[in-house]
Amino acid sequence: MASDPQSAANQRIVEDLVSRLRRRQLVGSRAAALETLLVLRQVVSKARSSNINQLVNIIRAVGRRLVEAQPKEHSVGNTVRKVLHHIREEYHTASEKPVVESSFSIAKFVLQGQPRKQTTIVRSGSEARAPLKENDPNDPDSFARVLKPVLMEAIQDVFDELETVYDNISKNAKDHIHSDEIILTLGTSKTVDSFLKAAAHYRNYTVIVAETAPSYGGREMAKSLSSAGISTFLVPDSSIYALMSRVNKVILGAHAILANGGMFATSGSLLAATAARSYSTPVVVCAGQFKLTPLWNLYHEHGALDFGDPSAVLGFDEGDLVEKVDVINPYYDYVRPELLDVFITNYGDHPPSSIYRLLKETYDDEDNEL
């Protein structure tokens, strides 16, 4: 009963996003996160539910559709998880039930060590709301009526967070980049771009950008940085190791940060991180919190199984050769946590080893599998 009349409308916007994700018309983790959030907002505002479980199930179903459409775009699932987490939190505050005040037992005692859930910002001036009633047969809409405004507010918060993510990451840029340093980066990453530009307001430093074949994202990056007045060098990927002895810091973007503290990032990142390790150069990763993914990289070598267009590597004009060789053009590298030093997120700076804790604070365990 929960999803008959309004599901048609929902279906349309969900399907629209699904097909855009599947056709790769929508790429980039932040863009995907934003679009997901817009869809979820629609879904929540239209959803007819008389208790929390119905609502959660509706959102989960939508989430699953979206994730299946493009499983490698992790920020989609992450956004769904985050919204679910907020919904539950709002529900608990609204229902004013003691959250987990269940009986004391040894098993619960062990769980005391579990990372504490993020505390909700207590909204001041919340006028006495009508008590939250679930499954009220006389007034089936009362649940939605009371909870919906709060939920919309919560979703708006997530939205605002995404809007300001670059500013918040760049906030401390000047503490990480010092004068006259030489920074190495590669690929295009909006996050790294704004981070470097923010630091340039305070410091004079040099950036070496690897051009990052075959997408040549590095060229765009170099263009963007130099137009902001930063002294920039564009170098071929093959010289990363040779230049590493001169580099003070490697700054990378991420596609997804995994629970063990490793990450998926533009291919070439592993090369840079490994070279940095051999010179003990610090590797800094800039990424928004929405990239935190509650996944372990289970299958290291297949982790990067997301391939781009091989013609960028070997074009069809090479005629005979195309028949004789297999060409692969992976989008991402998996970079092991040992190779990374720090993650700079909009929620502070963290070493790879405490990522799992951030994850427990950000999402609910039951949502790891949507």
Partner 1 sequence: MADFQIYESYQSLLKNENLSTPLAAILALTEMMMHSNAGTMFELLNELKGGAEALSRQTSNPIGLNAGCELFIEFITSFPQDAASFSELKTELIRHGQQYAEQALTYRAKIAELAFDFIKDDSVILTHSYSRVVLQTLLLAHKRKRISVFVTEARPRGLGIKTAEMLTAAGIPCTVVLDSAVAYAIDKVDFVLVGSEAVVESGGLVNAVGSNQIAIIAKAANKPFYALAESYKFHRMFPLSQYDLPSHNPGVLSFPQALGARALPASSGLPSKSSSVSSDNGSPIRITQEDIARNNPDVDYTRPDLISLVFSDVGSLTPEGVSQYLVGMFAG
- Residues 297-316 contacting partner 1, CB under 8 A: 298-299
User: Which segment (191-199, 205-213, 262-270, 350-358) binds partner 1 by CB under 8 A?
Assistant: 350-358
User: Which segment (52-60, 98-106, 135-143, 315-323) binds partner 1 by CB under 8 A?
Assistant: 98-106
Which residue of 107, 121, 122, 128 would you call a contact of partner 1, by CB under 8 A? 107
User: Which segment (46-54, 220-228, 291-299, 306-314) binds partner 1 by CB under 8 A?
Assistant: 291-299
Residue type, 271: L
Residue owning tokens 């989430």? 63
User: Which segment (39-47, 92-100, 150-158, 296-304) binds partner 1 by CB under 8 A?
Assistant: 296-304
Is 278 one of the binding residues for partner 1 (CB under 8 A)? no
SS3 209: strand
Is 113 one of the binding residues for partner 1 (CB under 8 A)? yes
Is 356 one of the binding residues for partner 1 (CB under 8 A)? yes
Is 260 one of the binding residues for partner 1 (CB under 8 A)? yes
To partner 1, the closest distance from the beta carbon of 112 in angstroms equals 4
SS3 22: helix
Contact string (CB under 8 A) for partner 1, positions 45-84, x = contact: ----------------------------------------
Which residue of 98, 101, 102, 104 would you call a contact of partner 1, by CB under 8 A? 104
To partner 1, the closest distance from the beta carbon of 115 in angstroms equals 7
Is 280 one of the binding residues for partner 1 (CB under 8 A)? no
* Cβ neighbours of residue 293 closer than 8 Å, sequence gap 6 or more: 74, 77, 78, 256, 257, 258, 259
105 versus 124: smaller Cβ distance to partner 1 = 105
136 versus 338: smaller Cβ distance to partner 1 = 338
Which residue of 98, 109, 119, 138 would you call a contact of partner 1, by CB under 8 A? 109
Is 110 one of the binding residues for partner 1 (CB under 8 A)? yes
The tokens for 114 are 């579990």
180 versus 369: smaller Cβ distance to partner 1 = 369
To partner 1, the closest distance from the beta carbon of 103 in angstroms equals 9
Residue owning tokens 């070997």? 314
Contact string (CB under 8 A) for partner 1, positions 205-244, x = contact: ----------------------------------------
Other beta carbons within 10 Å of 22: 12
Cis? peptide before 214, omega within 30° of 0? yes
Find how far residue 229's CA is from the centre of its chain: 29
- Residues 152-211 contacting partner 1, CB under 8 A: none
User: Which segment (41-49, 145-153, 214-222, 352-360) binds partner 1 by CB under 8 A?
Assistant: 352-360
Residues near partner 1, by CB under 8 A: 104-107, 109-115, 259-261, 296, 298-299, 353-354, 356-357, 365
